[in-house]
Chain A
Amino acid sequence: MKSIDLLGKVIEISHSNLEITSRIKSIVNIIAKELECEEVTLYTLDRDKRLTCRFKNNKSILFGILNQYRCHIGEGVIGSVAQRRAPQFYSKHDIPPRFGCLFYPELDGILERYKTFAFLPVSDDSYIYGVLVLGSSTIETLHEDEKIILSILSREIGGIFRSYDLILSSTKRISELVTLTELGKILSSNVEPYDLLKNIALIVARAMNAAFVSIRIEKSVLALETERFTYGTMDPAVERYIAPLEEKCVHLKKSISLEDYAEKVVEDKFSGFFMYVSPIISKNRILGTLLMGGEKSQPGMANEEDAAYLIDTIARYLSTGLETTLLNIRLRDVLRELGDAQKRLVEQEKFRSLGEMTASIAHEIKNPLAIIGGFTKRLANKANKDGVEWRYIDIIVKEVSRLETILNELLNYVKDVPIANDMCMINECIDEVIYLFAPDAAWENIHFVREYDTTLPPTRCDVQQIKQVFINILMNSFEAMAGKGTITIKTGQTYYREKPYVTISITDTGGGIEPAIIDNIFNPFFTTKERGTGLGLAISNKIVMNHGGHIEVNNNVGKGVTFVVYLPIKNNIM
């Protein structure tokens, strides 16, 4: 009855919600109490296949000694019970000295106090989890039914360990799945490549509680400026090993750890750290590497074996997803460009029809305007030059002439002017434009600073039209500076979207453009001048666009404006 009672209590505890160590401790104490054993201890098997005495009943004396030495499987009585998975029972006469093991000298003289010992394997059908040790100074020998009960109990404890292992591994699997799901989500999202890789580094770091995660992407894969995406910081002591470790990993096309790489050399010095790097390979091509690292002692960090496994898994997962994602991103960029181009085409088409309409209206107006102006002039000839009529007539004549100017410029703007195909030395072209203004007295307070790139190659363009652009911009600067200031003209060469361009930057000291209106400056008929047509910059912009270039405006409010004209050196348009 006593045995049944014990069994019931143990089963009750083992099925309780208590934390595993509390459950084991309670069971050990109950066994000690019910079976009148002073000593009940439990060895558990570690990952390194050694047994450690970890649990004891409250009154245990031997635990302090047994806990000192971790025995191998097969070593001593405890090791052999674990190996054979068969219990061993000893009575007073046949207790092996130091439990048959050389490493417990402290047991000498103590074991004599006990009359009986029992060693039982804690296991289930397939795994050994540890060894249960009982010692009693009062019981001469254990009864058969007690032995059976103990076997059942040790199996029950084995069951506790097994379910705990299952929970642990399923928790691990779940967290892996969560990590992979998160990665999947981010890989299939629309984020920019930079954010994508930053996020992946963060997810990996979080999944493994790692201090440091770094994703390095081969330059050819991503046309990004950065090729490394890092979370956290690495201790300076091992930081310099990151790059060579990755290099070696790429070279070997397989995962390696810091220890694999540096072997014994670093063992002492960096034994506190670990680093593990996996290649990201797709279709036998290295896309990059995934590295994680940190201090071994960092609390909560995945152990090395798990980390290595997880990093490998993630690297494999990334391999399949990353390339697709990057391709998608590229595709999206191309699509966006295509969309932009289409929008531009539609706008151009709109502009063309608007232009045609504008042109026909302008022409319709020109005839009556010529008639009004013509007759007004005839009227002027007949009017008394001192009379008020003549003054009014003069105003009409001037306004008609202004209208005609506007109409002519407008027609100039909307018509498609063919581009002449000249080879132009831009520096000389600017000099010629400046030379046009130089003799003009109004320009005498304008100081020109020229900073030319003398290595500028000849550029294919319509010289007359390009000169018109420079004239328009210079006129603009002149007006902005009210005829007094410095105009700095710089020429240079640059790359824009991977194509070579000549740049001409014209900077004035006219105080800049009001930010509120800056978006309008290239719009036709937008003007801040009292008598401007608002077509100068619009025409300039159109000319430069027709050349396959563009104009950039750098506004420095309070100081001045810089117009940068980009002209393609190799022109496919012409």
Chain B
Amino acid sequence: MKDIRLLVVDDEENIRILFKEELEDEGYIVDVAASGEEAIEKIKENHFDLIILDIKMPGMDGITVLNKIKNMNKEQPVILCSAYGEFRQDFSSWVSDAYVVKSADLHELKETIKNLLHL
């Protein structure tokens, strides 16, 4: 399998660690960003096959980040991953490629990643 690069954007450090370790175990190369601003910087400089984006973050929130990313590159796959299920109804979240409600069980997230990357 060729190297697949993922970016996990979450303000919560332990979530970043958890996702990074779990996804690295799956064989991905995982980078992390602690805020929307940092994420934008990283995306400008690097290529990511998929971005996992939290919504509720201090500073720039996930929905704004999502819009900026899609404006830069419409084809960039993004998964919104939030503890909130309600944003699913928010139409501005619809431009994301998938929506996963955050859970201790990362099975759904992993499956969604595979689907989006056609693995």
Contacts and interface: CB of A to CB of B under 8 A. Distances in A.
Interface stretch (A32-40, A169-177, A396-404): A396-404
Contacts of B102: 366-367, 370
A363 interface: yes
Interface string A334-378: 000000000000000000000000000001001111111111111
A367 B12 contact: yes
B86 A370 contact: no
A374 B104 contact: yes
A373 B105 contact: yes
A370 B109 CA distance: 12
Select the residue from B15, B85, B103, B104 with max chain A CB neighbours within 10 A. B104
A370 B15 contact: yes
A87 B21 CA distance: 136
Interface string B93-119: 000000001111110000000000000
A372 B104 contact: yes
Interface in A370-401: 370-378, 397, 400-401
Contacts of B85: 408, 411
Contact of A401 (B22, B56, B104): B104
Contact of A374 (B22, B56, B83): B22
Contacts of A397: 104
A366 B21 contact: no
B22 A371 contact: no
Interface residues of B, number: 17
A371 B21 contact: no
A401 B101 CA distance: 14
B104 A404 contact: yes
Nearest to B85: A411
B83 A400 contact: no
Interface residues of A, number: 21
A375 B18 contact: yes
A254 interface: no
B104 A363 contact: no
Interface in B73-102: 83-86, 101-102
B64 to A, nearest CB: 19
Contacts of A375: 14, 18
B84 A363 contact: yes
Contacts of B103: 370, 373, 404
Contacts of A366: 83, 102
Contact of B105 (A363, A371, A372, A401): A401
A374 to B, nearest CB: 4
Nearest to A363: B83
Nearest to B12: A367
Contacts of A408: 85, 101
B20 to A, nearest CB: 11
Nearest to B10: A367
14 contacts: A366-B83, A367-B83, A370-B15, A370-B104, A371-B14, A371-B104, A374-B18, A374-B104, A374-B106, A375-B14, A378-B22, A400-B104, A404-B103, A411-B85
5 A-B pairs with the lowest CB-CB distances in the bound complex, closest first: A373-B104, A366-B83, A374-B18, A371-B14, A370-B104
Interface of A: 363, 366-378, 397, 400-401, 404, 408, 411, 415
